């Protein structure tokens, strides 16, 4: 198991990790998910402090891309329709010149097992399937969607003295035009 001080990147599944696994099916075929704001804040903080973050999910929707782009994760690090997460995790490592031992992977279900075993630190929520709990280096005390992501990201950044939020630093991503328009109408200007 890799020491948190040696971690340089994170990779996560979505459903059951950032969410509690519940989805609402829309008429247009998209699935709505509820994300924990504390999990999201920790990912944004990691990105702002130079940590690449991959999203590797079996899901596929524009809402996934939109959500994680808003946290500063580029579309090139969002892998959708991933059945076996390990090849996508290895591709992410190659793109960022990382050894897989430098990456934390968080997953909760059968397609995540190989990536959990291969990552420097494989971690799953306490409500993950039995195969993941057996494959993971760490089983979190938190369930998916309930600060599971926040816990491991914050602990890692604190171990490296990088749990830093600078309110003067720009978010590191671009708002869509309609958001920019709304902020000017409201008088709220974001750098």
Task: Tell me whether residue 70 is exposed, middle or buried, using C-beta atoms within 10 angstroms of its C-beta: 0 to 12, 13 to 18, 19 or more.
Answer: middle
Q: Detail the DSSP E strand segments found in 47-97.
A: 53-56, 78-79
52-84 tens-digit pLDDT: 999 999 998 888 999 999 999 999 999 999 998
Using pLDDT thresholds of 50, 70 and 90, give the confidence band for residue 185. very low
Compute the distance between CA of residue 14 and CA of residue 99 in angstroms, rounded to an integer. Answer: 23
Using pLDDT thresholds of 50, 70 and 90, give the confidence band for residue 167. confident
Query: Above 70 in pLDDT, residue 178?
Result: no
φ/ψ of 13, rounded to 5, equals -75, 175
Q: Which one, of 90, 10, 76, 85, lies nearest residue 42 by Cα?
A: 10
φ/ψ of 170, rounded to 5, equals -60, 155
38 Cβ partners below 8 Å, 6+ apart? Answer: 147, 150
Using pLDDT thresholds of 50, 70 and 90, give the confidence band for residue 172. low
Checking DSSP bridges between strand 103-106 and strand 9-12, what pairing results, if any? parallel
Show the domains of the chain with their CATH numbers: 4-165 (3.40.50.1000)
Task: Tell me whether residue 3 is exposed, middle or buried, using C-beta atoms within 10 angstroms of its C-beta: 0 to 12, 13 to 18, 19 or more.
Answer: exposed
H-run or E-run covering 64: helix 62-69
* Choice among 24-33, 125-134, 142-151 with the minimum mean pLDDT: 24-33
Mean pLDDT estimate for the chain: 89
Are 12 and 153 in contact by the 8 Å Cβ rule? The answer is no
Q: Which one, of 14, 79, 75, 4, lies nearest residue 46 by Cα?
A: 4
């Amino acid at each position: 198991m890799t020491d948190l001080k040696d971690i340089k990147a994170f990779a996560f599944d979505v459903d059951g990790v950032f969410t509690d696994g519940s989805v609402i099916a829309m008429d247009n075929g998209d699935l709505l998910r509820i994300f924990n704001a504390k999990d999201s804040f920790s990912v944004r903080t990691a990105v702002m402090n130079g940590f690449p973050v991959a999203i590797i999910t079996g899901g596929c929707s524009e809402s996934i891309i939109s959500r994680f782009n808003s946290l500063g994760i580029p579309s090139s690090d969002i892998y959708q329709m991933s059945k076996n997460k390990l090849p996508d995790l290895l591709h992410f490592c190659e793109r960022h010149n990382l050894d897989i031992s430098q990456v934390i992977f968080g997953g909760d279900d059968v397609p995540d097992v190989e990536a959990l075993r291969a990552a420097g630190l494989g971690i799953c929520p306490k409500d993950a399937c039995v195969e993941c709990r057996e494959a993971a280096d760490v089983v979190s005390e938190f369930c998916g969607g309930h600060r599971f992501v926040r816990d491991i990201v914050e602990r890692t950044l604190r171990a490296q003295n990088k749990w830093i939020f600078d309110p003067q630093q720009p978010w590191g991503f671009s708002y869509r035009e309609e958001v920019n328009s709304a902020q000017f109408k409201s008088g709220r200007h974001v750098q």
